Amino acid sequence: MIKEIRSFGLAFLCFITWQSSSAQSLKKLNNDTVIWQSNYTLTMADFKGKVPANKALGGQVMSGIVFFVREREGTPYFVIEAIIVKSKSFIRDSSLYALNHEQIHFNITEIFARKLRMRLTKLNFAKVSNIQRKLQEQYDKIGAELSAYQDRYDRETEHGQNPAKQKIWNEKIMQELTELNEFESTEVNLYK
Protein backbone atom coordinates (compact mmCIF):
# COMPACT_ATOMS: atom_id res chain seq x y z
CA MET A 1 0.00 0.00 0.00
CA ILE A 2 1.42 3.39 -0.93
CA LYS A 3 0.32 6.34 1.12
CA GLU A 4 0.95 9.94 0.01
CA ILE A 5 1.56 12.12 3.03
CA ARG A 6 2.19 15.55 1.50
CA SER A 7 3.18 17.10 -1.77
CA PHE A 8 6.59 18.61 -1.04
CA GLY A 9 9.86 17.26 0.32
CA LEU A 10 8.79 14.04 1.98
CA ALA A 11 5.64 13.25 0.00
CA PHE A 12 6.05 9.48 -0.24
CA LEU A 13 6.06 6.78 2.43
CA CYS A 14 5.52 3.12 1.77
CA PHE A 15 4.44 0.33 4.04
CA ILE A 16 4.71 -2.94 2.18
CA THR A 17 4.05 -6.18 3.98
CA TRP A 18 5.63 -9.22 2.43
CA GLN A 19 2.87 -11.18 0.72
CA SER A 20 2.72 -12.91 -2.63
CA SER A 21 0.84 -9.96 -4.16
CA SER A 22 3.38 -7.42 -2.90
CA ALA A 23 6.29 -9.05 -4.75
CA GLN A 24 5.06 -7.55 -8.05
CA SER A 25 4.53 -4.15 -6.41
CA LEU A 26 8.04 -4.25 -5.01
CA LYS A 27 9.54 -5.17 -8.41
CA LYS A 28 7.69 -2.29 -10.10
CA LEU A 29 8.77 0.08 -7.33
CA ASN A 30 12.42 -1.02 -7.61
CA ASN A 31 12.51 -0.11 -11.32
CA ASP A 32 11.63 3.49 -10.46
CA THR A 33 13.61 3.97 -7.27
CA VAL A 34 17.00 4.77 -5.90
CA ILE A 35 17.76 3.01 -2.62
CA TRP A 36 19.88 5.11 -0.26
CA GLN A 37 23.52 4.02 -0.10
CA SER A 38 26.37 5.76 1.67
CA ASN A 39 28.53 5.68 -1.47
CA TYR A 40 25.89 7.06 -3.86
CA THR A 41 25.08 10.71 -4.57
CA LEU A 42 21.98 11.75 -6.50
CA THR A 43 22.48 12.90 -10.09
CA MET A 44 20.22 14.60 -12.62
CA ALA A 45 19.39 11.14 -13.99
CA ASP A 46 17.54 10.40 -10.74
CA PHE A 47 15.01 13.17 -11.40
CA LYS A 48 12.60 11.84 -14.04
CA GLY A 49 9.41 13.60 -12.92
CA LYS A 50 7.67 16.25 -14.95
CA VAL A 51 8.71 19.77 -13.94
CA PRO A 52 5.53 21.68 -13.06
CA ALA A 53 4.64 25.02 -14.62
CA ASN A 54 4.72 26.61 -11.13
CA LYS A 55 8.22 28.07 -11.05
CA ALA A 56 8.11 28.69 -7.30
CA LEU A 57 9.17 25.10 -6.72
CA GLY A 58 12.79 24.57 -7.74
CA GLY A 59 12.89 20.87 -7.11
CA GLN A 60 11.35 17.99 -5.26
CA VAL A 61 12.77 14.65 -4.26
CA MET A 62 10.00 12.19 -3.49
CA SER A 63 11.62 10.24 -0.70
CA GLY A 64 10.22 7.69 1.66
CA ILE A 65 10.73 4.52 3.60
CA VAL A 66 9.96 1.09 2.19
CA PHE A 67 9.35 -1.54 4.80
CA PHE A 68 8.71 -5.24 4.22
CA VAL A 69 9.30 -8.65 5.77
CA ARG A 70 11.38 -11.42 4.25
CA GLU A 71 12.29 -14.86 5.43
CA ARG A 72 15.66 -16.62 5.44
CA GLU A 73 15.89 -20.27 6.50
CA GLY A 74 12.51 -20.01 8.22
CA THR A 75 13.46 -16.89 10.19
CA PRO A 76 11.62 -13.64 9.40
CA TYR A 77 13.45 -10.33 9.23
CA PHE A 78 12.57 -6.78 8.25
CA VAL A 79 14.02 -4.88 5.34
CA ILE A 80 13.76 -1.12 5.81
CA GLU A 81 15.06 1.09 3.01
CA ALA A 82 15.13 4.82 2.36
CA ILE A 83 14.24 5.41 -1.28
CA ILE A 84 13.37 8.08 -3.78
CA VAL A 85 10.89 7.62 -6.59
CA LYS A 86 12.49 8.92 -9.80
CA SER A 87 9.25 9.44 -11.73
CA LYS A 88 7.90 11.68 -8.95
CA SER A 89 11.11 13.67 -8.39
CA PHE A 90 12.10 16.71 -10.42
CA ILE A 91 14.65 19.51 -10.36
CA ARG A 92 14.90 22.72 -12.40
CA ASP A 93 18.44 23.74 -11.54
CA SER A 94 21.12 21.19 -12.43
CA SER A 95 23.75 22.85 -10.26
CA LEU A 96 25.64 20.82 -7.67
CA TYR A 97 24.24 23.17 -5.03
CA ALA A 98 20.61 22.33 -5.96
CA LEU A 99 21.40 18.61 -6.18
CA ASN A 100 23.02 18.79 -2.74
CA HIS A 101 19.86 20.33 -1.23
CA GLU A 102 17.80 17.42 -2.56
CA GLN A 103 20.47 14.91 -1.45
CA ILE A 104 20.11 16.21 2.11
CA HIS A 105 16.34 15.51 1.91
CA PHE A 106 17.25 11.95 0.91
CA ASN A 107 19.82 11.71 3.72
CA ILE A 108 17.19 12.86 6.22
CA THR A 109 14.95 10.04 5.03
CA GLU A 110 17.81 7.60 5.65
CA ILE A 111 18.27 9.00 9.17
CA PHE A 112 14.65 8.18 9.95
CA ALA A 113 14.93 4.74 8.34
CA ARG A 114 17.82 4.13 10.74
CA LYS A 115 15.74 5.39 13.65
CA LEU A 116 12.96 2.96 12.68
CA ARG A 117 15.49 0.11 12.50
CA MET A 118 16.79 1.13 15.94
CA ARG A 119 13.29 1.19 17.45
CA LEU A 120 12.40 -2.19 16.00
CA THR A 121 15.57 -3.79 17.37
CA LYS A 122 14.44 -2.73 20.84
CA LEU A 123 11.04 -4.44 20.54
CA ASN A 124 10.64 -7.99 21.82
CA PHE A 125 8.40 -9.45 19.12
CA ALA A 126 8.00 -12.72 21.00
CA LYS A 127 5.93 -10.77 23.55
CA VAL A 128 3.92 -8.62 21.10
CA SER A 129 0.34 -9.88 20.68
CA ASN A 130 -0.50 -7.87 17.54
CA ILE A 131 2.71 -7.48 15.53
CA GLN A 132 1.02 -5.78 12.55
CA ARG A 133 -0.50 -3.08 14.78
CA LYS A 134 2.79 -2.52 16.63
CA LEU A 135 4.70 -2.20 13.35
CA GLN A 136 2.15 0.22 11.90
CA GLU A 137 2.29 2.28 15.10
CA GLN A 138 6.09 2.57 14.95
CA TYR A 139 5.99 3.31 11.22
CA ASP A 140 3.36 6.04 11.65
CA LYS A 141 5.37 7.69 14.44
CA ILE A 142 8.52 7.73 12.31
CA GLY A 143 6.56 9.08 9.33
CA ALA A 144 5.21 12.01 11.36
CA GLU A 145 8.65 12.80 12.79
CA LEU A 146 10.25 12.58 9.34
CA SER A 147 7.68 14.90 7.79
CA ALA A 148 8.16 17.51 10.53
CA TYR A 149 11.96 17.28 10.18
CA GLN A 150 11.83 17.71 6.39
CA ASP A 151 9.61 20.78 6.87
CA ARG A 152 12.06 22.22 9.40
CA TYR A 153 14.99 21.65 7.03
CA ASP A 154 13.26 23.52 4.20
CA ARG A 155 12.07 26.30 6.49
CA GLU A 156 15.50 26.90 8.05
CA THR A 157 17.42 26.72 4.76
CA GLU A 158 14.69 28.69 2.96
CA HIS A 159 14.39 25.74 0.56
CA GLY A 160 18.15 25.86 -0.01
CA GLN A 161 18.22 29.57 -0.78
CA ASN A 162 20.24 30.41 2.35
CA PRO A 163 23.80 29.09 1.75
CA ALA A 164 24.96 29.69 5.33
CA LYS A 165 22.05 27.70 6.78
CA GLN A 166 22.43 25.05 4.08
CA LYS A 167 26.05 24.52 5.13
CA ILE A 168 24.99 24.12 8.77
CA TRP A 169 22.37 21.54 7.79
CA ASN A 170 24.82 19.66 5.55
CA GLU A 171 27.12 19.21 8.54
CA LYS A 172 24.26 18.41 10.95
CA ILE A 173 22.88 15.67 8.72
CA MET A 174 26.29 14.06 8.15
CA GLN A 175 26.81 14.01 11.93
CA GLU A 176 23.40 12.41 12.52
CA LEU A 177 24.09 9.73 9.89
CA THR A 178 27.40 8.97 11.60
CA GLU A 179 25.75 8.77 15.03
CA LEU A 180 23.29 6.18 13.67
CA ASN A 181 25.91 4.15 11.75
CA GLU A 182 25.11 1.10 13.87
CA PHE A 183 21.72 0.94 12.10
CA GLU A 184 22.95 1.39 8.51
CA SER A 185 22.17 -2.23 7.56
CA THR A 186 18.73 -2.39 5.95
CA GLU A 187 17.97 -5.73 7.65
CA VAL A 188 16.51 -6.05 11.13
CA ASN A 189 16.22 -9.50 12.70
CA LEU A 190 12.76 -10.01 14.22
CA TYR A 191 13.70 -12.71 16.69
CA LYS A 192 17.22 -12.39 18.00
pLDDT of amino acid 19: 34
pLDDT digits 0-9 by tens, 148-186 = 999 999 999 999 999 999 999 999 999 999 999 999 999
Name the pLDDT band for 16 (thresholds 50, 70, 90): very low
pLDDT of amino acid 108: 98
Say how far apart CA 87 and CA 79 lie, in whole Å: 23
pLDDT digits 0-9 by tens, 68-107 = 888 888 888 889 999 999 999 999 988 999 999 999 999 9
pLDDT: is 78 or 48 the higher one? 48
pLDDT of amino acid 43: 95
CB-neighbour burial class of residue 60 (10 A; exposed 0-12, middle 13-18, buried 19+): buried
pLDDT of amino acid 20: 33
